[in-house]
Structure 1
Amino acid sequence: MGQKLTVCLASYGILLGTMAFANCPAGQEPFTSCQIEGRGTEVHVCFDDQIATYRYGPISGTPDLVLSDAVTHVDYEPWSGLGKAISETVTFYNDGFSYEVGGGFDRPFSEEEMELGPRRFGWIEVAQNGQSLNRLQCIPDTVSYGFGGGIHDIKVAAGLNWDDYSKTWVGDVVTQAPILLSDDEGGCLLASELMLGGVAMGDRAATLHKLGSPEASGVFLPDGREIDRMTAIGLDIDILNGLVIGITATDQMWDMPSGLRVGLTRGEVIAILGRAPSGAAPDADIFNALVCSEGPQDIANWHAVIVFGPDKRVESISFISLAP
């Protein structure tokens, strides 16, 4: 009976995959699709070896929203391997909004359950800036979901690996010795890493003239001193008394000496650091790290903040002096 059930279970994913609506762009195949309860709308997530697409709108009508992303970049979360339900999600992002589309089915654990037919399910989770706005449920009988292969295999073929620790995909980042050193406080960051695109904490503003000229920022310290700011594309440099006391990068062109930069996944950041810093959870939205204290007093007050966006990728990197 076990062999028969195994064969039937293998057929389950194939069966569900062949139930796809034929509403994918030419050359693409379906990941999941369904009609939405009580709305007269449907959603289709399709892909080829390059692009994944999201289409939502009236049933058999012109979509209200079409989004696309590279398959190697798209936020796809594979089945965890746990529980009775097999499900996977793909999330698309657009101007602060995210659209998580999930599809799945319950595994049968007996021939009797197999005879009852597949119990399918699916949903769309709509969020803004990471905060849930609405969860739309699929009509179960309309759910198409083909488990196995697909987007997962394309990512793996591209050299990416799923990291269940951080719930992100990890590429072939160059890692040597971890840049987060061990100590009793949860780790400290090498002072040599507090540099973005060649601009370092403590640099003299006079050496940065190629990036522009400092201007008054309108930001004042508690003692009344105003911070000057130099702005480049995706980079803000804060200056006080002619020295750099803060740097914030929001563009991937500005990387740290280790290669840590905006756009990396949380798992890739952890691979470079060596672990999540300061006791942070591996799926935290913010990583904080103090610089290692070996050095002058001003260096001991430097602090790094890595912020992740809803897509689990680095949104910004900031270096701050805690005692300017």
Structure 2
Amino acid sequence: MVGTRLIAIAHVGVFSATQVFAGCPQGTEAFNTCQIEGRNTEVAVCFDDRNVSYSYGSIGSPPELELSSPVERVDFEPWPGLGRSIYEEVTFYNGDYSYTVGGGFERPFSDEEAQQELRRFGWVEVMHLGEQIAYFECRPETVTYGFGGGLYDLKVAANQSWDQYSLSWVSDLVQPTSSSTLRDTNLETCLSPSEFSLGGLRLGDPLSMLGKLGSPEPVQGSGIPIDRLTLVDMTIDIFEDEIVAMSSELPTWATRSGLKVGLTRGEVIRLLGRVPLGYDPTADSFSIDACSDQQGVRSEWMIDIDFGQDKRVSRITLAMFSP
């Protein structure tokens, strides 16, 4: 199914924004295109001012796989600005699979090297649940790659900035608040208890706050008498008639400051003000305790923020350590 996935990349200089390369539909610009080394297949990553597309298949035939992502959400990783090679990459996601298309060229560092043809390169890496299952290289002479402008400028025009530390893009619309900014207490990072709510429902709220959302059912095999209300976009656990946990995997429910599913890792870090103590900027999850020096925190609360392979929040969970 995935055995063939390839990528193109690398080219000299900067291309005109209106130039169209082979393999890209009319009206779109190529991030890169190429033919795969040792195979009769080709890949094309193309974009316009709204969408970025990936297509792969046999040369001259309809694509075997096509994927697309809006410019605002596409996982584009720009050149970090270091090293002899200039390179960039774009990753597309399809369920448990990801397809990273990258490429670049070797920069000349002397007049003699500048007179020689640039060494171009490109690749595609296919992952399944975080494990590499395929890797292909491009035929260098078929690579097209236009460094400068392009996707980077489109992301910036969409009011996003690249965060090299978290390796993700951050929307200028995401700004920290007094409730979302982390605090340090006894060498530990904590978050204001006012953040421990989703869509207006707060940990510790009575069962009556659920209103007409539905009727909780006993959780089988939990060992303690917990009832669970399962909604389309959230689960709510109740113990002794109060909310003890909430978990959501859709962006419908957000905390007071806007922490929710779908935010990039960099956007979460911006809301928190910094990376929580004990974690690095590319961690797969953050777990943060509530600051317990405020009224209304009757037991230790925690928030778990899990990130998916696309570097965005995949699940957010609020819970008491023990009911």
What is the correspondence of 1:131-280 to structure 2 with a 5 Å cutoff? Answer: 131-171=131-171, 172-177=173-178, 178-220=180-222, 224-280=223-279
Residues 29/15 of structure 1: CA separation in 2 closer, same or farther (3 Å cut)? closer
Q: Which one-letter code corresponds to 1:281 in the other structure?
A: D
Question: 1:311 corresponds to which residue?
Answer: 310
Provide the rounded CA distance (Å) in 1 between the counterparts of 2:127 and 2:216. 38
1:291, distance to aligned residue in structure 2 (A):
0.9
Question: 1:5 corresponds to which residue?
Answer: none
1:300, distance to aligned residue in structure 2 (A):
4.0
Partner of 1:279, secondary structure, is coil
TM-score of the superposition, structure 1-length normalised? 0.91
Higher helix share: 1
Query: Is this contact kept in 2: 1:179–1:193, CA < 8 A?
Result: no
Query: Is this contact kept in 2: 1:191–1:299, CA < 8 A?
Result: no
Provide the rounded CA distance (Å) in 2 between the counterparts of 1:167 and 1:28. 26
Query: Is this contact kept in 2: 1:278–1:289, CA < 8 A?
Result: no
Query: Is this contact kept in 2: 1:215–1:229, CA < 8 A?
Result: yes
1:81, distance to aligned residue in structure 2 (A):
0.3
1:21, distance to aligned residue in structure 2 (A):
4.1
1:114, distance to aligned residue in structure 2 (A):
1.9
Residues 36/17 of structure 1: CA separation in 2 closer, same or farther (3 Å cut)? farther
Query: Is this contact kept in 2: 1:294–1:300, CA < 8 A?
Result: no
Q: Which one-letter code corresponds to 1:231 in the other structure?
A: T
1:185, distance to aligned residue in structure 2 (A):
3.1
Question: 1:75 corresponds to which residue?
Answer: 75
Give a deviation string over 1:165-210, Cα, whole Å, max 9, x none.
Answer: 2111110213233431123434101111010111111111122032
Partner of 1:206, secondary structure, is helix
Question: 1:57 corresponds to which residue?
Answer: 57
Give a deviation string over 1:130-168, Cα, whole Å, max 9, x none.
Answer: 222211111122111100101110110111111112111
1:15, distance to aligned residue in structure 2 (A):
6.7
Q: Which one-letter code corresponds to 2:83 in the other structure?
A: G
Query: Is this contact kept in 2: 1:92–1:99, CA < 8 A?
Result: yes
Residues 15/179 of structure 1: CA separation in 2 closer, same or farther (3 Å cut)? closer
Query: Is this contact kept in 2: 1:90–1:100, CA < 8 A?
Result: yes
The yes-or-no answer on 1:113 pairing with 2:113 is: yes
Aligned-pair identity (%): 48
Residues 186/38 of structure 1: CA separation in 2 closer, same or farther (3 Å cut)? farther
Provide the rounded CA distance (Å) in 2 between the counterparts of 1:232 and 1:92. 29
Query: Is this contact kept in 2: 1:102–1:124, CA < 8 A?
Result: yes
Provide the rounded CA distance (Å) in 2 between the counterparts of 1:37 and 1:87. 19
Partner of 1:14, secondary structure, is coil
Provide the rounded CA distance (Å) in 1 between the counterparts of 2:18 and 2:250. 42
Residues 270/17 of structure 1: CA separation in 2 closer, same or farther (3 Å cut)? same
Query: Is this contact kept in 2: 1:56–1:63, CA < 8 A?
Result: yes
Question: 1:90 corresponds to which residue?
Answer: 90
Q: Which one-letter code corresponds to 1:100 in the other structure?
A: T
Provide the rounded CA distance (Å) in 2 between the counterparts of 1:297 and 1:49. 49
Provide the rounded CA distance (Å) in 1 between the counterparts of 2:231 and 2:187. 34
Question: 1:8 corresponds to which residue?
Answer: none
The range that moved more, 121-130 or 295-304, is 295-304
Partner of 1:82, secondary structure, is coil
Partner of 2:114, secondary structure, is helix
1:82, distance to aligned residue in structure 2 (A):
0.4
Query: Is this contact kept in 2: 1:20–1:145, CA < 8 A?
Result: no
Structure 1 alignment gaps of length 5 or more = 1-10
Structure 2 alignment gaps of length 5 or more = 1-10
Q: Which one-letter code corresponds to 1:204 in the other structure?
A: P
Query: Is this contact kept in 1: 2:20–2:28, CA < 8 A?
Result: no
Query: Is this contact kept in 2: 1:305–1:317, CA < 8 A?
Result: yes
Q: Which one-letter code corresponds to 1:195 in the other structure?
A: S
Provide the rounded CA distance (Å) in 2 between the counterparts of 1:227 and 1:298. 20
Provide the rounded CA distance (Å) in 2 between the counterparts of 1:176 and 1:19. 44
Partner of 2:208, secondary structure, is helix
Provide the rounded CA distance (Å) in 2 between the counterparts of 1:228 and 1:136. 50
CA RMSD in angstroms, aligned pairs only: 2.0
1:296, distance to aligned residue in structure 2 (A):
6.7
Give a deviation string over 1:53-94, Cα, whole Å, max 9, x none.
Answer: 000111121110000010111000100000010000111111
The range that moved more, 171-180 or 14-23, is 14-23
Partner of 2:243, secondary structure, is strand
Partner of 2:13, secondary structure, is helix
Question: 1:4 corresponds to which residue?
Answer: none
Q: Which one-letter code corresponds to 1:142 in the other structure?
A: T
1:20, distance to aligned residue in structure 2 (A):
7.0
Query: Is this contact kept in 1: 2:20–2:27, CA < 8 A?
Result: no
Query: Is this contact kept in 2: 1:189–1:290, CA < 8 A?
Result: yes
1:254, distance to aligned residue in structure 2 (A):
0.3
